[in-house]
Every structure is written in C-alpha cells, then in structure tokens.
Structure 1
C-alpha cells in the first residue's frame, strides 16, 4: 500500500498545505469536495451525511470494478513545525461491502525526501460491512522530522466512510500546539519598504553589489545561524546595502567580515561536506574566484566547514520526492520603485539557482555574468514593465521550460505582449509560421497559410521582440512558446501578410480577448476519449484523457490488438507510469535515476539508485508499441515516455521534447512575482541527461506545411506503418 504514495507525489507540486485547521470534519466544502484535501481514485459523491453521532458529515470513498487504479485516498502533507515525541491520528470508519485490503487511516513522518516511519493499520484494515468504529494510528517522532502525511485510504472496492478525524501531538490537538518560532519569520522594519533607492549605478557600485549578492547567498545557505532560522537574511541585506554600496574594496570586505563574525558561532562540522560521489557539486573553495581579501576568504572557508542543522530553515526537500521547497516571504505589496526589494528578488532567484538547480551546469550564459547583467537591468529599470522584463531576462537565462515569469500584475502580458489575438492558432513548421487552426468560419485565412509579416513586422523581427518572454529549455520548445503569443496584440485588428501556395496575400483580421478563446494547444486530437481502436487491430491511448480510467480493464480490451499507439504529445491527465507500465513489461526494467539535493551540502546533488518499472508478467502486452512525442511532451509526459520506451517492440516516433523533466519547485519573489525550476535531476539509468536534450525519438518525424494543409497527422502515419508491418 505504500506504493500509492510514490505515484501520488511524483509531478504533483502543491501537496503541502499551509493551513491551521486541516478541515478534519470535512465541513469546509468547495465544489462538492472538502477543502484542503487531495483526493484521488474515488467515484463521485464524496460527501455523506452518514456520521457516528448523526451530527455531522463524513468523507465517502467508493470504488467498483471499473474504477481506475487500485485504491482511493484523501491525504494532506503539512510541514512539521513543532516539537514532541508522538504523533497520533484518530478517526471513525464505517464500511459497506468492502473487498481487498480494506479501509484504513494513514500516518507517516518524513525527513526531506525520505519516509522515516508510517502506520497504515497493517493487519487492522476494515473490510466487509462494518458499523462505525473508532481507530487510531501513531508514530514516534525524531529530531529530523520536517513534514508528515496523514489521510484515509480505501484499498479495494466498496464504500468507506470516514468522520471526525483528530491529529494530536503528545495528546494535545496539533492545532493547539505552539509552532517553533523563527526569527527569520518574524516581522522586521523593512517589510513594506527597504528605504533604498538607487537612481544611477556606477561601476564601483555594480561590482560591490555583485560581490554582496554572492556573499549574502553563501551566508544564507551555509551559515548555521541562518540555516537555523535565527536571522532574517532579507533584513540583513537591507542593513548591509547602504554601507557596502559605495565602499572601496578594502572597506567592503572588512564590513562583510565584521557582519559575518557578528552572526554567531561556527561549530566545526561533524558531517563534513565532500565533493565525492556527487552528480553535481560546486568546485572546491569556489569563492576564491570572487576576488575577496584573504581575511574574508578564510572566513567563508570557516563558514563552509561548519556544521549545518539537520533541518534547514530556508529550504527543505519535499516529502518522498526530494525537490526543494523554498521557505521565503512574498512581500506582495512592496512598490516596484524600491531598489532594495528589486535586488532582494534578483539575489534570491540567482542564489536559488546557484545552489539548488540540478541543471545549473547546463545554462548557456555563465551564471555569474547573469547576476552582473541582472544587477544593472533591475536597478536601471524606469518602470514596472522594464523591471518585469529585467527579471524575465534572468529567468530566461535559466534555460528551463519550468522557469517562466509570472506575476499578479503582469505588465509583460498586458503591455508588452498583448491580451488580444485573431481567432486562429499558429505552429512553427519547417521553420515557418503556419496557420494550424482557424476558430471562426468565413475568415480570409486558411489552415496551411504561411505567415510572413504581422503588422508589417517580419516574423524574425517579431521573434526577436518576444524573445525575453519565451523562456525554454531548447529551441523546439522556444518555438512552441513563440507560437502561443506570436499574434498577441492590444489592437482591435491585426494585418497579416501570408503566402498561400504561390500567391502573396494581405488580410485584416479582427482580434478578440485571448481569455475568451478556447484554444487547441495540441497538434492533433484523435477522439475525445482515453482509448479506442484506431483501426480494427490497433489500439490508441491518449494520455491527456487517462484520468479515472481503469487501466486493467482498458488493457484487457486492447489485449488482442497487434499494435498500440501511446500518444504523449500532451500532458498526462494522471500519473500512470507504474499502473500502465506493469502491463507493458515481461519483467522489471530500470528506466530512470535521479539527482537530488544534499541537505547538508548546499550546491551538491547526489545520485539515487535506478528506479524500475514492471515485474515478472508472462501476460504482458505482446504487440508492437508506438509512442508519439513532440515539443509539447513536457515534464511528466517526458518521464512517462522514458518509462515506456524500454518495453519490448516499443519505438518512439516524433521530434524532440521540451527538455524540462523533474518535479517543479516554486520560487516566490517580492512584489507579487514568482517562477519555478526543475527541482530534481532526471536521467536515464546510465546517467544520460534528459534536461534541455529532451527525449530523443527512435524515428524522427516532424510535421510539414503540406501535411498541415492537408490535415494529416504525419507522426501517427509513420507509427501506424510500423505497427502494421509484418
């Protein structure tokens, strides 16, 4: 039963709920579901008036023979922010015609990506038809616990009702137990305004800020007092900035040394940092290249060699997966004119990538150069739009499709890109902007038309203009990003010059608000169900529709086919790597290994053992398998392709994928901005990378202009030739 948790947390980035009540009586409802709970695998109708005291309501999990997966569950994964010895989950359970392992409570404690202990009522699950009974699970705590998982499970079929849950720490409701307090989380004098305004930036100031940004981030992640949450590093930055800004090199380094010495003791390390057996690590004494004084360099060496706490305040691995969760204040309402907060946003982002990106070695521009250029750009920005574009340029330099600029007040979208467009879709095919979809009838533009100019601007000039906001891991995905915004404007009409066969045409199109368009992002849509027979002897599975499908039943219906198409030119609607994969392999097959951050050594990533899919299965699918991919195959879709491509008689058809694999970690920035990064490294078992490279197909097939015009799916056509050949 433990296995369901792994499949749940992979590629689901928002399971950690920042709340205090937990909705344990299921009374807080939104859209017919209890708020705060992640629920999966159950049939509809998850709220019930059945209750042990007839004075409340319960959560109803139900499954039948056609329900997808092998269990239904409702869980939460809060951070553990207390001190205590024993954690207990109590609740009431009632069952009706339950078969299989039965209904139970679930409680587990975690340290980063590792589960330390769990209680799932093993050998005590409730099956059959049983009236209400109160049950309990408990775990003993350790000093390293940083999160816990709790919830309810129905493994099998039937109905199970759960009511009046209670979580206690050493016998006290956990909502009444004081949280461990951190000075870093307390309000500081600069919450609304740093008081720093820099109107012009000279060379000395830029170099001082460059060094400050690097040293500040180093101390944030390596100094034990900072890692224990005893220091507000944001406030420390604002205190340092005015003194450092115009200092000469000698005074600057002395100010920094004095500051570090005042932060507290540096206990020598017991778990000393090592570069051995690392998937990725910063060079030994990497700060020596920063041009520091001997005293400051030696002081940083002492900080580096000090002992970090087992739980780091600023960053922790997400439970069971290990991608980083960043514990940062959002400062949503600060003014964009505030130079201090502009620098905080830049320094925070730059140092997160420096120490916690598993792919920082793949950036095209030297990362320190990105910081140097970023300082000038964010300080010299004269408007909110210019400032947002400066941040977007830094995010662009991460070269990760998971890293996109987002904002509550997105001036880039509103003013720079535009919020309207003509009712059509464009794809880049054979290096040309080709009309792929037209949403309204009787327009003077057709599928297959090649656009050459937009409002008298060439396509190449338009792409150069849009480049700062088209962050991507590789060029095919960048073109995908371009295609989505190529026609965006704030005008009511757009003039388009195009080539149709041998004719050159000019058309004027009315625009509509982008938010009012129901856009088709995927190239081809073959039916609107998860699976069907695309020919009498070939099955077709569309993974974006797979949610809620009973995989066992689906494979039984497709078992007699001679070939199977797995279309992953989309984002899977559910995580089916293991549930579907077990039908494709005759025996266990290693398909992936990860690199995960080392909590005790910021900047270091370590290899995990290779992960396998499948098990001994003489009844595995015997036909050929064609897996379809393209630049829209991203993240979980890429991971799924990796998992299935090793199956017997499987071939991958299509073109390079998005090259952004690994669980998404969010990065909040001051001013209502945020972005993300691929938080774990994803590699083939032999350590061949996938990031930026993408999944390389066995048979390269790319659409053509002629094929688009004719409405053909050329990737599928090639796949069908393979499947139908003897």
Structure 2
C-alpha cells in the first residue's frame, strides 16, 4: 500500500520546531497586516496563494486559496492548524463552509490528518473522493476521523488542488460531538513521562560473542512476553522501550547463562504488583491457535527460578486494556504508543535491537498467519541479532529490516516513510518502461516512447550487464510478498530503479540480442499515460458489460444494472484495488440470496498469541432481480486484499467464473506500526478463511480457469484474459 503523493507531500513539509496553540480558531477574523494567514495557521503546498480576504460566509474575513498561473499537476494549496491530542475522545469532526469559483481539473475540500504519537499517519481525509468542483455559493461540509487512543497530532484546515479559487470560513472542531474546549483531558500514563533515553540508548556493542547473542535472544523473548503479558506493563506503568535499555548492560555483561537469568529474574521482581483488573465481556469464539509459550518451561535455558517467574506472569489476571495496543472493531490489532524515533535515521545499537524485538514480538503474538512462515519464526530472532548489532549505516540497518519483514511472506508488509533510503521513488530514477514477467521473461508491456529503440514485447535479458535472472534472485529476499507471483510483480515495479543517470539494457527481439543505453528520469516523468483503464464501466458490443472496480463507485450501480439488463454476461476486472465497497453494490447485484463466503481469526489482548475463529460472514441479499447472465472475474497478482475478499463473494454468483492467475495472497484488514528510525510498516491483522476453513493467505484466490498472458499476446498488444472472458460469455 502506498499513500497518495499529496499525503506524502504534506507529511514532508511539517515545520516540527514551531510553537502551536492548543485551541482551534477557524473564523479567520484576524489577519496579518499584509493579508496573510492568522497566527497558528501553517502554509502547506506550493504555487498557491493563501490569504484572508473579505469574501466571508460570516464576519469580516475568510480564507482564500488561489492557484498561481504556473501551477503544476502535483502542486496544491493547503493551510492547517496543528492541534496536539491532549484531549480524550473517539472521533474528531471538522466542519465548515466552502465557496468555489471555477474549480476544475482537480478538487477542493476540507482537510484533516491525524498522526499517532510516533508521527505516522493514522487517518486522513482531503475530500478528494467527493470531487467538489464547479462554482458554488457557501455550503457546509464536514469530515470525521477516528482518534488514536494514545494521543498524537491533528492537522485540520482546507485544501485546493484545482485551477479555481476556494474560500473557507467558520471552520469548527468537535470531539465526540462536543466543542474542542469541552473535551475531557487525555489520560496520562507513567510511561509518557519517561524521557531518559530520548537522545539515544547509550548502548554500544563491539565484537558480539556467541554467548552475548544467546543472551540477547533470551532477552528479546522475555522483553516481548512481559510487554504483552505483564499487567503492570500493559497498564502503561513503564516506558518499556526504555526499560530495555536499562536492563541491556547487565545482560550484555553477564559472564554466564546463570548470571543472565538472575539479572532477568531481578528485573521481573522489580515490576509493580498488578492491580485488580476488570474485563469486558467478549463473544466466545472457537480457538484456532493457542499462544506459543512452551519456551517458558525450558528450564535448561532459563533456569528453574526464571522459568517459574515467567509462568507466574502468564497465569496473572489480565484485562482488555494494553497501553501498547488495542483491537480495532474489525479485530485487527491497532499498535499504539509505539514511538518511531524519527529523528534517528540510523539508530544506535540499543535502538536497533529494539526494532528487532518490537517486530519479532508483534509477529509472535499478533500476526494471524505466523503458522504459514515456512522457515519458522522462532529462529529469526537469533538470526537477525548480529545483523542489527553490526549494521554500519542507515542503508545496512534498513536492508536487514527489509529482509526480516520480507521473511513473514505477507503482501501487505513492506517498508515506507520519509526516512527510508533504500526504497522510494523520490530517491531514485527509472525509465519510462513497464516490464511484466511472462513465461519467466521480463517482457516490455509498455514503452513510453518507442524512439528509444525499444518496442512492446521486447524481452529484457540484462540491465547494466547483470542478467535479469540474477537481479530477480538478488531482490527476492528483500521483496515482501505472500507468494512468488506477487514477488515478481513487486520486482517489476523496481526493475529499472537506479541512482545512475543512464542504464544499459540488453534485449531480445525475434531471436536477436541487441543493447541500448538510455538516460534515466524521475518517476514522475516516467509515468506512461493509459497504463490503467480510465473507465469505471462500459459496454463491449451490445451483449457484454465490463466493470473496472479500480474506478467504479457504488453510486453508478443503477446505471450499470440498467445498461447490463439484457446482456449475455459481464466482466468484472479485479486486476485492481476497488475504489468502493463492492459488497454493497456488485455483490448484491449478482447474488440471489445471502450466502456465507468468509470467516476470520482475531487475536486477543488478554491472551496474546491466541487466535479465535469467528462465525461466517454472508454476502448478498434476497434479490429476485439478481443478474442472470454469466459473470467472469479477472484476477492476477495485482488482485490483493479487498480485491481478493470481494472475489470470494462474487464467485458465489450462480454463473460466475474466476479467470486468471495467482492473486496476491494477502486477505484481511491491515495493522500499521513504526520501527526505530522512522521506518513504517504493516501486517495483515486478521486471518481470512473460506467457510470450510481453507486458507487464503499466501494461497490467494485460486482461479477456476488458470490463464496467464503470453509474450505473443503482449507483442500483439492484446489483453488475452479479457479476450478469453468474452469468449466464455459468448459461447
């Protein structure tokens, strides 16, 4: 998943050193002598004029956002006020009045972004999907976002990403429906007041010994177990990151396993006695997986006393609150109060170990597909300790993290954020070419300008004299994906990524090998128009309907059902990510009655590592006017997450056929978190299964008819899957 470029632009323009008010004044009645923004308002974007003028909804002033004449396609005008989340609440609502004048080629709207305490984006809405355009008088609008449980920061204001003028006035913030000034204060935890290691852990490790590696492995397991199992840590009594740095010297200096275990035992005994906790009743579910706690009984490694102490913690009474996480309404974990330490792009040895421990334990206790990690997970902790300790710079540290992340085989996983130096379009150059791995060959599917000497269908055999096959083998270990087909799809996207100004390509055409040297360009300049369908739906002839969910909105359903009424069949092209919730539109359209199509596993706060299986989820409604024609659903490695979930429901249609190849194999709501150094990542947070218990993760959605593109088809510029779908419908 990638954030839109506009969101990233906003994230990178944050003036972190400025002082901001704790309140919110969206009246725009005060202005600077030059007509500039009132105090506290931040100017984001570029090539737009932001000022206060008298064209107001109420009072004497309103915000005006006007584009400069030379506005670029990625420029925007946005002003926000920064609001620290020092108040308690579940939702924050921004409402206000907007006036539009000739808004075309873009959109305008209110803007609100919520960051968690680590600085990662938690929620955002810029009203882009509402496509406000044209010329209108003053109208009231609102947007609502959920608030991160542990606090954070809100940026609220207005945005203009168009050719026209936009005015905003009387902006107001409500918390759970009440004015901001009436919101209760945010609960303060002891963990929040511990700043002892804000500037560094002070841990240095040189010449890591095998005994120290064993010590650090045991510490990582104990630290993570206490984080999720000890009631005092769960209650926020300790900054558990910093407690790690307090115990690390004693562990590193232990001359024997006995000394290490005694140090860990003293550490546990110093934790406060847990208070009585209250439970919230939760629905009983069938247990799918039990916590992996057998290691607590390993007295050979832990010693009898430490083993007994850890088992005593496991038996303690725990509530459903944990300072470090909660379960979202869908059941996926929401990791809160996980500091990203963004000002440390290359963290010291202590923080690098913290990154490893944090990630390993999140997977250990809250990744619903840990059982599908074919290489095993327990061994990964010891394996990556030397890589973290010995990392010499930011790139080597992030490369080690990327290998670790890729090791869980989850197409949702990856590495993002402005601090990432080993990936990211903003730091690299590329070519205006699009390759696809077809028949085990890197075939050019799109060529931006054939004047370069290359054509659609050419097979790239080497880049800078490195064979493509060798490049694939080099990139596989650092490419996050659930299966090989999706790994290749991810590699396609970075195949020409480079920091060089030129690339030499070797290619095969009609049996002849040639080479060409091309100048690289920015990712923005390498965009090839028409790479994705521009339509949301259309007719193919008079007998077949076509829907592209990547653009389709549920509001178009009436038009589609009317147009498709007498067709032989419809093609639903899910080689895309749905732009809307298709369960409420297309799925209801093709199903005659409610039908079970999925069930889920969700984790537990009280028993970390336990996953329970929920009841079946049904799709569709009673519908005597359901679509009677054939339904052909197109899928491939780009069909991921919600697209896979929707395919599970659509294929229940009486005359449905799934056509294509292996999907991404990452089905389920995602959970975000941040690692030291400002590295952002995510995992699939709930398990998704068919009603009969079959897996979808890694396996993907298995097509009824397996078919992949061919080199010949690409050279002929044909969409072979679509051609086959039309043949199936017209048979």
TM-score for both structures, normalised by structure 2: 0.76
1:569 deviates by: 0.2
Matched, 1:596 2:602: yes
1:82 deviates by: 7.2
Work out the CA distance in 1 between the residues paired with 2:717 and 2:496: 22
Q: In structure 1, which of residues 448, 453, 456 is the aligned counterpart of residue 457 of structure 2?
A: 448
Q: In structure 2, which of residues 171, 175, 191 is the aligned counterpart of residue 184 of structure 1?
A: 191
Work out the CA distance in 1 between the residues paired with 2:94 and 2:708: 56
Please say if residues 88 and 183 of structure 2, whose CA atoms lie closer than 8 Å, have aligned partners that are also in contact. Answer: no
Matched, 1:720 2:729: no
Q: In structure 2, which of residues 221, 226, 234 is the aligned counterpart of residue 227 of structure 1?
A: 234
Which aligned pairs between 1:205-220 and structure 2 lie closer than 5 A? 205-220=212-227
Work out the CA distance in 1 between the residues paired with 2:507 and 2:95: 66
Which aligned pairs between 1:566-585 and structure 2 lie closer than 5 A? 566-585=572-591
Matched, 1:264 2:272: yes
Give the alignment's Cα RMSD to 1 decimal.
Answer: 3.9
- Corresponding residue for 2:205? 198
Q: In structure 2, which of residues 337, 351, 364 is the aligned counterpart of residue 341 of structure 1?
A: 351
- Corresponding residue for 2:392? 382
Partner SS state of residue 689, structure 1: coil
Matched, 1:307 2:317: yes
| Segment drifting more, 561-570 vs 598-607 | 598-607
- Corresponding residue for 2:412? 402
Which aligned pairs between 1:612-627 and structure 2 lie closer than 5 A? 612-627=618-633
Work out the CA distance in 2 between the residues paired with 1:87 and 1:505: 60
Work out the CA distance in 1 between the residues paired with 2:638 and 2:490: 10
- Corresponding residue for 2:558? 552
Q: In structure 2, which of residues 409, 417, 421 is the aligned counterpart of residue 411 of structure 1?
A: 421
1:316 deviates by: 0.6
Please say if residues 399 and 471 of structure 1, whose CA atoms lie closer than 8 Å, have aligned partners that are also in contact. Answer: yes
Q: Deviations over 1:244-266 (max 9, x none)?
A: 01311111111111111111225
Work out the CA distance in 2 between the residues paired with 1:633 and 1:90: 34
1:164 deviates by: 8.0
Partner SS state of residue 677, structure 1: strand
- Corresponding residue for 1:350? 360
1:383 deviates by: 1.9
- Corresponding residue for 1:128? none
Work out the CA distance in 1 between the residues paired with 2:283 and 2:570: 48
Name the CA shift for 1:379/1:55 in 2 (closer, same or farther; >3 Å): same
Please say if residues 540 and 566 of structure 1, whose CA atoms lie closer than 8 Å, have aligned partners that are also in contact. Answer: yes
Work out the CA distance in 1 between the residues paired with 2:564 and 2:28: 42
1:614 deviates by: 1.1
Partner SS state of residue 583, structure 1: helix
Matched, 1:679 2:701: no
Name the CA shift for 1:458/1:418 in 2 (closer, same or farther; >3 Å): farther
Which aligned pairs between 1:445-484 and structure 2 lie closer than 5 A? 445-484=454-493
Name the CA shift for 1:367/1:484 in 2 (closer, same or farther; >3 Å): same
- Corresponding residue for 1:486? 495
Work out the CA distance in 1 between the residues paired with 2:614 and 2:538: 38
Partner SS state of residue 260, structure 2: helix
- Corresponding residue for 2:77? none
Name the CA shift for 1:698/1:163 in 2 (closer, same or farther; >3 Å): farther
Which aligned pairs between 1:125-164 and structure 2 lie closer than 5 A? none
Work out the CA distance in 2 between the residues paired with 1:265 and 1:405: 38
1:274 deviates by: 14
Which aligned pairs between 1:307-326 and structure 2 lie closer than 5 A? 307-326=317-336
Partner SS state of residue 543, structure 1: coil
Matched, 1:629 2:657: no
Work out the CA distance in 2 between the residues paired with 1:589 and 1:348: 40
- Corresponding residue for 2:250? 243
Matched, 1:654 2:660: yes
Q: In structure 2, which of residues 607, 613, 631 is the aligned counterpart of residue 607 of structure 1?
A: 613
Please say if residues 266 and 303 of structure 1, whose CA atoms lie closer than 8 Å, have aligned partners that are also in contact. Answer: no
1:424 deviates by: 0.8
Matched, 1:513 2:519: no
Work out the CA distance in 1 between the residues paired with 2:403 and 2:94: 50
Q: In structure 2, which of residues 232, 257, 261 is the aligned counterpart of residue 253 of structure 1?
A: 261
Work out the CA distance in 2 between the residues paired with 1:481 and 1:24: 45
Q: Deviations over 1:53-94 (max 9, x none)?
A: 779999xxxxxxxxxxxxxxxxxxx9999789x99999999x
Please say if residues 581 and 613 of structure 1, whose CA atoms lie closer than 8 Å, have aligned partners that are also in contact. Answer: yes
Q: In structure 2, which of residues 684, 694, 703 is the aligned counterpart of residue 697 of structure 1?
A: 703
Name the CA shift for 1:710/1:172 in 2 (closer, same or farther; >3 Å): closer
Work out the CA distance in 1 between the residues paired with 2:282 and 2:598: 27
Unaligned runs of 5+ in 1: 1-18, 29-34, 36-48, 59-77, 94-131, 134-143, 148-161
Q: Deviations over 1:523-543 (max 9, x none)?
A: xx45x2111101211000001
Q: What is the aligned residue count?
A: 608
Q: In structure 2, which of residues 395, 403, 417 is the aligned counterpart of residue 393 of structure 1?
A: 403
Partner SS state of residue 652, structure 1: strand
Q: Deviations over 1:150-204 (max 9, x none)?
A: xxxxxxxxxxxx9887757899956552211111222421011100111221101
Q: In structure 1, which of residues 298, 318, 326 is the aligned counterpart of residue 308 of structure 2?
A: 298
1:325 deviates by: 3.2
Please say if residues 449 and 498 of structure 1, whose CA atoms lie closer than 8 Å, have aligned partners that are also in contact. Answer: yes
Name the CA shift for 1:686/1:170 in 2 (closer, same or farther; >3 Å): closer
Partner SS state of residue 368, structure 1: coil
| Segment drifting more, 281-290 vs 207-216 | 281-290
Name the CA shift for 1:179/1:422 in 2 (closer, same or farther; >3 Å): closer
Q: In structure 2, which of residues 439, 442, 463 is the aligned counterpart of residue 433 of structure 1?
A: 442
Please say if residues 192 and 333 of structure 1, whose CA atoms lie closer than 8 Å, have aligned partners that are also in contact. Answer: no
TM-score for both structures, normalised by structure 1: 0.76
1:707 deviates by: 0.8
Q: Deviations over 1:276-312 (max 9, x none)?
A: 9312222454423482111111111111111223221
Work out the CA distance in 1 between the residues paired with 2:94 and 2:195: 39
Unaligned runs of 5+ in 2: 1-19, 30-40, 42-54, 64-82, 98-138, 141-148, 153-168
Partner SS state of residue 683, structure 2: strand
Work out the CA distance in 2 between the residues paired with 1:252 and 1:400: 35
1:479 deviates by: 0.4
- Corresponding residue for 1:368? 378
Name the CA shift for 1:225/1:387 in 2 (closer, same or farther; >3 Å): same
Q: Deviations over 1:587-627 (max 9, x none)?
A: 10111111111221111111111111111110111111000
Work out the CA distance in 2 between the residues paired with 1:642 and 1:87: 32
Please say if residues 275 and 281 of structure 1, whose CA atoms lie closer than 8 Å, have aligned partners that are also in contact. Answer: no
Matched, 1:504 2:513: yes
Work out the CA distance in 1 between the residues paired with 2:628 and 2:687: 32
Partner SS state of residue 347, structure 1: helix
Work out the CA distance in 1 between the residues paired with 2:443 and 2:642: 28
- Corresponding residue for 1:118? none
Please say if residues 318 and 325 of structure 1, whose CA atoms lie closer than 8 Å, have aligned partners that are also in contact. Answer: no
Please say if residues 291 and 607 of structure 2, whose CA atoms lie closer than 8 Å, have aligned partners that are also in contact. Answer: no
1:358 deviates by: 0.7
1:687 deviates by: 1.7
